[in-house]
């Protein structure tokens, strides 16, 4: 006997008894009111549950459509990944051609992805009779190119729609709502159509790596049994293998290109293979100002008297140029208090004093702080055109303040699909000396500013602008051209000027991509060592600030900055028009 029949039987008995003995009026009234109340409550609860589940189902199909765009099984370069190949085929399906077998496995993988997402959202993991929902037929789950040409380079649209069988919570509902669709005590709920769009991942990228090659890059990482420089080289090798794959990996554009510039105390401009420079300009009259300064001769580099003679000879100076020479001692580390060499005084123009003390060693930071015109140095960015620029301070004598290896270009561009020698070129450079990130950023921005008609033709052929990204990597606080120089640069709009200059290179005919600056603190935390440096970098690069401790985290940072992980698309309430 059903719930309704049982209730009506008891109600009939109550009415009959009331008619015979005129007793039980409250019982009769309660009985008369109880059934409608039960039905009302049941319908209210059940209707609310249905609406909530329909909302969850719609959210699930939205998410499933996004996941389909991420895997992009129908159009990815290598669709035969593990999640596809592990799909089982029936005996009939195994008789199909290899291409059709693969497309069948792709369809099964798409169904698996969609149905698992739906079950997760609706908290229904089993297929038995007690499961809150069951799926009795496949969902609509397919992707198509955004372009009517049938090519997927421009992106894909994925569509998901389907029904689930929702178990009713009250038997009374099953009795009162009877239809062919609910004979099994379940109600059919439709998701409605969900669309997701993923624009083509083949937007060309231009990446400039501005890398710290100061002496501390030889140190070993605390979290990995390897030197920092070796970890960086390994990460660059893996990164460029993806970026310059010619579209064979992660939907990379065949028009990607990568360049690099390495900095220490000084920097070599693009095309320079011997001398280093400081890419700065002086304040008026400061270059010719007469100053007294110190020059240091350390025993580490040879006999003190021989070092003095070589110095005087290289600049064609008399012996009287050096005076008041005194012994100096180590002030730090295990050698603290031990003899280090001699420090001599000299007089010259400020500009010459800077050059000579940088080449040999001395108090050049103090000299530089009163020399540099920050505004003039920053304003040069507007005129960058990729040509080598003339700077007053050129380190044209052998010095540890420059890269030690002669005939070596330490700033190079552009490496592409047809020129992948970046790893070899990058690996040949040896770190030494101090840290001068602003110099690297200036030279890197100048390289990126050079007009390249041949490259522009390639971009015009695909009707796209290039995404420009400068990644600055450093393993310590900047101490050049003087302590705190980068903080002063940033406060005067240094980073904004670089972005603004590179943004002018975008072709107004195509979608524009703003220049991105990113900073990677490699195995050190600026916020713990100098909070002002930390805030300066945060202001410079916005959200693209990363602290990494090993190669895995470094690769993850590269991937996040450049967006080369599997990307999700965007949800659309209506099917987009195919172009």
Q: Which residues of 251-265 are buried (b: 16+ CB within 10 A; e: fewer)?
A: bbbbbbbbbbbbbbb
Low-confidence ranges of the chain (pLDDT < 70): 1-49, 77-78, 125-129, 147-154, 169-185, 199-201, 247-251, 565-579
Retrieve residue 19's tokens: 């008619």
- Cis-peptide, bond into residue 557, ω within 30° of zero: no
CA–CA dist 372, 243 (Å, integer): 38
* Cα–Cα distance for residue pair 502/465, rounded to 1 Å: 12
The predicted pLDDT at position 578 comes to: 56
502 contact partners, CB below 8 Å, separation of at least 6: 445, 448, 449, 468, 470, 515
Q: Is the peptide bond before 482 cis (omega within 30 degrees of 0)?
A: no
Residue 202 CB-density burial (10 A; 0-12 exposed, 13-18 middle, 19+ buried):
buried
What does the pLDDT read at residue 421?
A: 85
Assess contact for 414 and 425: CB atoms under 8 A: no
Quickly list DSSP for 521-579.
Answer: EES--HHHH-HHHHHHHHHHHTT-EEEE-SHHHHHHHHHHHHT-SPPP-EEESSPPPP-
- Supply the pLDDT for residue 1: 56
pTM of the model: 0.70
Q: CA 352, CA 393: separation in Å to the nearest integer?
A: 8
Specify the residue for token string 């580099």.
301
Domains recognised in the chain with CATH numbers: 25-199 (no CATH), 217-281+372-564 (3.40.50.410), 290-365 (3.30.70)
CA end-to-end span of the chain, whole Å? 62
Exposed, middle or buried, 468 (CB in 10 Å: 0-12/13-18/19+)? Answer: buried
Could you tell me how far CA 252 lies from the centroid of its own chain?
15
Residues 6+ apart with CB under 8 A from 472: 210, 437, 440, 441, 517, 518, 519, 520, 541
The token pair at 490 is: 């940033």
394 forms beta bridges with: 277
What's the 3-state SS for 341-374?
Answer: EEEEEEEEEHHHHHHHHHHHCECHHHHHHCCECH
Residue pointed to by tokens 């008041």: 324
pLDDT of residue 262: 96
DSSP structure string for 96-131: S-HHHHHHHHHHHHHHHHHHHHHHHHTT----STTS
In the three-class reduction of DSSP (H, G, I as helix; E, B as strand; rest coil), residue 45 is classed as helix
Cα maximum dimension of the chain: 138
Q: Cα(35)–Cα(40) distance, rounded to whole angstroms? A: 9
User: Residue 463: what pLDDT?
Assistant: 87
Q: What was the pLDDT predicted at 400?
A: 77
The residue among 154, 152, 146, 4 whose CA lies nearest residue 76 is 152
**What is the per-residue pLDDT for 567?**
53
- Measured distance CA(418)–CA(428) in Å, rounded: 20
Length of the chain: 579
Q: In what order do the strands lie in the sheet with 155-161?
A: 140-145, 155-161, 194-199, 570-572
Token pair 């009250």 in the structure block, residue: 170
Reduce the secondary structure of 263-323 to three states and give it as a string.
ECCCECCCCCCCCEECCCCECCCCCCCEEEEEEEEEHHHCCHHHHHHHHHHHCCCCHHHCE
pLDDT at position 239 is: 93
């Amino acid at each position: 006997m059903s719930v309704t029949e049982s209730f009506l039987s008891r109600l009939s008995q109550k009415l009959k008894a009331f008619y015979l003995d005129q007793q039980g009026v409250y019982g009769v009234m309660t009985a008369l009111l109880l059934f409608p109340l039960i039905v009302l409550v049941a319908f209210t609860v059940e209707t609310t549950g249905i609406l909530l589940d329909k909302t969850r189902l719609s959210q699930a199909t939205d998410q499933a459509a996004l996941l389909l765009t991420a895997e992009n099984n129908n159009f990815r370069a290598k669709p035969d990944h593990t999640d596809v190949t592990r799909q089982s085929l029936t005996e009939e399906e195994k008789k199909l051609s290899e291409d059709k077998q693969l497309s069948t496995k792709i369809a099964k993988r798409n169904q698996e992805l969609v149905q698992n997402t739906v079950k997760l959202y609706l908290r229904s993991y089993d297929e038995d009779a007690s499961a809150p929902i069951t799926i009795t037929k496949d969902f609509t789950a397919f992707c198509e190119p955004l372009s009517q040409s049938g090519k997927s380079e421009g992106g894909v649209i994925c569509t998901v729609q389907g029904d689930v069988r929702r178990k009713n919570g009250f038997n009374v509902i099953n009795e009162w709502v009877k239809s062919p669709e609910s004979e099994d005590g379940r109600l059919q709920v439709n998701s409605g159509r969900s669309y997701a769009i993923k624009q083509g991942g083949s937007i060309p990228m231009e990446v400039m790596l501005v890398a710290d090659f100061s002496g501390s890059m030889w140190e070993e990482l605390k979290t990995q049994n390897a030197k920092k420089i070796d970890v960086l080289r390994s990460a660059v090798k893996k990164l460029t293998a993806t970026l310059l794959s010619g579209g064979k990996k992660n939907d990379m554009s065949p028009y990607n290109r990568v360049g690099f510039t390495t900095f220490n105390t000084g920097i070599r401009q693009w095309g320079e293979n011997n001398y280093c420079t400081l890419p700065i300009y002086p304040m008026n009259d400061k270059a010719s100002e007469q100053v007294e300064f110190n020059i240091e001769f350390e025993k580490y580099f040879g006999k003190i008297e021989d070092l003095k003679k070589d110095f005087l000879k290289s600049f064609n100076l008399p012996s009287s140029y050096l005076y008041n020479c005194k012994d100096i001692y180590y002030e730090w580390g295990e050698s603290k208090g031990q003899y280090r060499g001699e420090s001599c005084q000299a007089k010259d123009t400020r500009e010459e004093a800077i050059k000579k003390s940088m080449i040999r060693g001395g108090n050049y930071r103090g000299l530089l702080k009163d020399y540099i015109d920050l505004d003039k140095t920053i304003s040069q960015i507007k005129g960058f055109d990729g040509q080598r620029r003339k700077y007053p301070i050129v380190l044209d004598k052998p010095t540890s303040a420059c890269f030690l290896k002669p005939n070596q270009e330490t700033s190079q561009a552009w490496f592409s699909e047809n020129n992948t020698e970046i790893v070899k070129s990058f690996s040949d450079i040896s770190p030494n000396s101090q840290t001068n990130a602003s110099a690297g950023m200036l030279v890197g921005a100048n390289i990126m500013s050079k007009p390249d008609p041949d490259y522009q033709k390639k971009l015009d052929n695909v009707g796209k602008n290039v995404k420009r990204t400068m990644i600055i990597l450093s393993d310590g606080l900047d101490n050049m051209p003087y302590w705190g120089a980068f903080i002063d640069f940033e406060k005067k709009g240094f980073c904004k000027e670089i972005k603004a200059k590179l943004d002018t290179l975008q072709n107004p005919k195509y979608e524009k991509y703003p220049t991105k600056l990113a900073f990677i603190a490699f195995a050190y935390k600026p916020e713990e060592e100098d909070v002002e440096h930390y805030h300066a970098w945060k202001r410079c690069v916005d959200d693209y600030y990363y602290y990494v401790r090993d190669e895995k985290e470094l690769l993850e940072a590269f991937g996040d900055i450049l967006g080369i992980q599997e990307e999700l698309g965007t949800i659309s309430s209506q099917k987009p028009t195919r172009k």
